[in-house]
């Protein structure tokens, strides 16, 4: 089964969800509705500044396994990582552990702490990141372990629950970059024991660029600063007759870290609609669908191509990377795909294929046809 009819991708076989998730039709309709609000602002009710972000939270919460109040609406993963990286009181000699090969959003904020004396260990990930490798890298001075649940290049899915247990036992803050995971693979932030989970919305959440969500464990809410005070996140802000009487008394939960102008209509409306669309399908069916498409791709790979992604049950994701033994052939195959309107990505010298609910078996067959032609 696919939900291809719920999207409008023309004649493109779009297998590139790890780059950008396409809008479903309901999200496009939501943008049109938001445009109508700005065409005639008299249609904008004051309550929308609060009800619209809360609608996003409610729709997203099942994909995190948390309460809606544990989520902040942000502009992307970077702001969530920065909350922990910049929010702790660091001392020279403090230690951070991250995997090698992380997306820049989850390594630049940590190495930027080095001038302050913070030491950063990058754990080798050849063959996959294991909990044992994380445990071996820890020191008495380790304060944070930060990992991407799904590697952006290889699609390797990390056992975040096992790493979370290691961190809990040592009272280390655990951060997950879930940009390539939320709405693509299962995640339960509570079982993982994460202090913070940061994610971008424009990938698997099928939301606009410039959107994101941030989970903060309730136990951490009062331990982290609020670097930007957003007036809509304080108690009483919904009473527009008493705005000059507001104090810095934040709403409960993670909403205090909402990005300013949280209820950006052109962002939040399609984000809420896309998340509700995905929630109606459910994460188990979403992941089963992408697994079946990747299995079809693997089974049909032409001679000369091989997988560079784990297909083990606990480590596979909705991202699959393939290569030829000859790098030139890999690049030529990628170029052939683009010319045939089969949209994939080149990442770390491999062809990254990342199907979603908008894809069907026909899309995989179109990709296989181009790979076969390039290997002939």
Contact status, residue 144 vs residue 88, Cβ threshold 8 Å: yes
Distance of alpha carbon 146 from alpha carbon 40, whole angstroms: 45
> What CATH class has 29-280?
alpha beta
Distance of alpha carbon 11 from alpha carbon 238, whole angstroms: 46
Statement: the pTM of the whole predicted model exceeds 0.85: yes
Nearest to 253 by CA among 271, 233, 228, 227: 233
Q: Is the dihedral of CA 173, 154, 77, 31 positive or negative?
A: negative
**Distances from the Cα of 317 to the Cαs of 152, 153, 202, in angstroms?**
10, 11, 18
Three-state SS annotation for 312-331: CCCCCCCCEEEEECCHHHHH
Q: 23-39 burial string, b = 16+ CB within 10 Å, else e?
A: bbebbeebbeebeebee
Which segments of the chain belong to CATH 3.40.640.10? 29-280
pLDDT of residue 94: 98
Length of the chain: 376
pLDDT of residue 128: 83
pLDDT of residue 286: 98
Burial class (CB in 10 A: 0-12, 13-18, 19+), 131: middle
pLDDT of residue 4: 94
Answer left, alpha or beta for residue 250, where phi above 0 means left and psi between -120 and 50 means alpha: beta
pLDDT of residue 375: 65
Contact status, residue 204 vs residue 176, Cβ threshold 8 Å: no
**Distances from the Cα of 270 to the Cαs of 69, 131, 207, 240, 264, in angstroms?**
20, 37, 6, 26, 10
Nearest to 324 by CA among 291, 302, 296: 302
pLDDT of residue 161: 97
Neighbours of 299 (CB within 10 A): 9
Which segments of the chain belong to CATH 3.90.1150.10? 4-17+282-375
Contact status, residue 322 vs residue 350, Cβ threshold 8 Å: yes
pLDDT of residue 376: 61
> What CATH class has 4-17+282-375?
alpha beta
Query: What is the pLDDT tens value at each position of the chain, 376 positions in all?
Result: 779 999 999 999 999 999 999 999 999 999 999 999 999 999 899 999 999 999 999 999 999 999 999 999 999 999 999 999 999 999 999 999 999 999 999 999 999 999 999 999 999 998 789 999 999 999 999 999 999 999 999 999 999 999 999 999 999 999 999 999 999 999 999 999 999 999 999 999 999 999 999 999 999 999 999 999 999 999 999 999 998 999 999 999 999 999 999 999 999 999 999 999 999 999 999 999 999 999 999 999 999 999 989 999 999 999 999 999 888 889 999 999 999 999 999 988 899 999 999 999 999 999 999 999 876 6
């Amino acid at each position: 089964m696919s939900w291809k009819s719920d999207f409008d991708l023309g004649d493109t076989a779009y297998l590139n969800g790890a780059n950008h998730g396409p809008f479903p039709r309901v999200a496009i309709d939501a943008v049109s509705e938001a445009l109508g609000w700005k065409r005639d602002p008299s249609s904008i009710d004051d309550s929308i500044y609060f009800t619209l972000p809360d609608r996003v939270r409610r729709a997203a919460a099942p994909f995190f396994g948390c309460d809606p109040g544990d989520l902040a609406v942000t502009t992307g993963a970077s702001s969530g990582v920065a909350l922990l990286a910049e929010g702790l009181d660091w001392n020279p000699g403090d230690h951070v552990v991250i995997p090698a090969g992380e997306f820049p959003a989850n390594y630049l904020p940590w190495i930027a702490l080095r001038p302050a004396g913070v030491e950063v260990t990058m754990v080798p990930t050849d063959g996959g990141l294991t909990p044992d490798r994380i445990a071996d890298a820890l020191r008495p001075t380790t304060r944070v372990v930060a990992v991407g649940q799904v590697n952006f290049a290889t699609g390797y899915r990390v056992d975040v629950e096992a790493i979370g247990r290691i961190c809990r036992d040592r009272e280390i803050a655990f951060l997950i970059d879930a940009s390539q995971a939320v709405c693509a693979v299962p995640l339960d932030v509570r079982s993982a024991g994460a202090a913070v989970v940061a994610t971008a919305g424009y990938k698997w959440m099928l939301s606009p660029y410039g959107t994101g969500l941030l989970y903060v464990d309730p136990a951490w809410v009062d331990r982290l600063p609020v670097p930007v005070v957003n007036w809509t996140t304080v108690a009483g802000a919904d009473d527009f007759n008493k705005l000059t009487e507001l104090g810095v008394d934040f709403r409960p939960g993670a909403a205090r870290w909402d990005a300013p102008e949280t209820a950006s209509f052109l962002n939040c409306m399609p984000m809420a609609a896309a998340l509700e669309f995905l929630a109606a399908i459910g994460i188990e069916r979403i992941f089963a669908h992408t697994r079946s498409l990747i299995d079809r791709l693997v089974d049909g790979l032409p001679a000369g191509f091989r997988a560079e992604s784990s297909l083990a049950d606990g480590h596979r994701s909705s991202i699959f990377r393939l290569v030829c033994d000859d790098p030139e052939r890999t690049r030529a195959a990628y170029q052939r795909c683009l010319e045939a309107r089969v949209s994939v990505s080149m990442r770390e010298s491999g062809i990254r294929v990342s199907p979603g609910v908008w894809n069907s078996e026909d899309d995989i067959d179109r990709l296989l046809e181009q790979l076969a032609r390039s290997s002939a």
